[in-house]
Structure 1
Amino acid sequence: MRIRIVDAFTDRPFGGNPAGVLLLDAFGDDAWMQRVALEVNHAETAFAHRLAEGGETDWALRWFTPVAEVRMCGHATLATAHVLHGTGAHEGPVRFATRSGVLVATPRQDGSITLDFPTAPLTEVEVPAGIAEPLGAEPRRAFDTGPDVGDLLVELADEKTVRALAPDHKALGAHSARGLIATARAEDPSRGYDFVSRCFFPNVGIDEDPVTGSAHTALAPFWSERLGSTVLTGLQASPRSGRVGTELRGDRTLLSGRAVTTIEGELLV
């Protein structure tokens, strides 16, 4: 079967967040899919298969990190939609059946793809005691992002602080279910982005995720309230880097970006 590596939330190879994508006739055994994800060894590997026509969804979709299945993944959903459209396996909007409900990916004329995801419910919580040392900075505020995302979102003093983080990943994992989202307002919005973030997910085998679509379902409502706009652009300031367009629509958040296929080959097992 064909396997592809797609760089998501970028318009250039070797940027954004790489994801493995496999289009199947049906889902394989869970243990087999987990072994494939470990072999691919990127933040996520997506497995998708076509569903019967006439239903509410078109394709079933699941995502695995090298060590665990996750409930929601933005960049691997974008990567899967990119493969479906690029290979002609599907035309127009794709309705994915996932553990997080129905997720829709819509291709745009400019080559980008827009994802329709549930908005993460934010609940302010006390800044966890002792988090400043493993994170490497003192958060101003902290928010729980709900069960689908499962992260702790923390606001830091400024963009420079976010960019300079060098956390103790093992110790950081004690402070959330999946991981931690660190964010700050952009120092200079004229550069084309409104806020910055970095995401650390040691509990699912990802020390730092290059660009995280699911995190932006929490970042969008957080920054929309503070910046007074429902349409924003986030820069995830990882070493690979990538931009995510966000549009807040109440209980749904639209995430927009591009993708590039960098590797295509044959999975022999």
Structure 2
Amino acid sequence: MVNTPRAAVQETRRRLENAGLESAQFESRILVETVLELPYGAPLPEQPLTETQQQRLAELTARRCDHEPLQYLCGTWEFFGLEFRVGEGVLIPRQDTETLVETVLELRKGASSTCLLDLCSGSGCIPAAVSAHLPDVTGAVLELSPDALPYLRQNLHRHAPQLQCCAGDVLCPPAALLEQQYHIITCNPPYLTAADMEQLQPEVAHEPETALFGGTDGLDFYRKLTTLWKPALLPGGWLVYEVGAGQAADVEQIFRKNGYAQVHTVPDLTGIGRVVLGQKAEI
């Protein structure tokens, strides 16, 4: 029967392939699982899809063929072993960012508690993942976008309810956040260059421009945040950034110009310099 889950996967795969999508086999299975509300990799049932499920699958398939991100269609996405709510208006969690989380976990290994601030928080994947793997994490997150904030609040409520969720601009932040001091400040800021923005993949073009564009050379946020937020670090505390491919050396230089110590870069699994961090000098 054409409306059995297995047949639905095959038909969805055919449509995605015809639309030129490279991961059609993987994505067709994900879309059927989403419609059937099955966990990833669960066995497909034998019973046919209902008419409502068939209509829903046809809609999602058409949207994916138009290059709407798969993550938005699913409504959730996995990051560092946790499930996050995502949708239009929020940056999609990516595997690249797991390098940042791993770096923070190594920095705070053995610490009894950690006071954390996450800037440009988006979905909240960074502070949530850190909170899930370190003891007694407190602190706050800061996000400006009214479209991203509902996802951020939902994800923190689920994974890190102890963190304070603040709406505001990282470049003109609430005084209360600047007056606190943190062991770790994390940030995955907008870092795409003007040239990058002109060559976006169709899927990435669906994501919010405010979470992508970092100025002509992609470094605007690094220049401003590195100076602005240094007083909010405890002595010996770390500012930890995700950076784009090829930006590590420039961001290291920004750290050094601002008097940070122990400045270095951590590569991701592909060997690209993905995380740059610096330490506020001990008194």
Q: Which category of TM-score, normalised to the shorter sequence, fits these structures?
A: under 0.3
Instruction: Compute the TM-score of the two structures, normalised by the length of structure 2.
Output: 0.24
Structure possessing the higher relative contact order (Cα contacts under 8 Å, 6 or more residues apart) = 1
TM-score if structure 1 supplies the norm length? Answer: 0.25
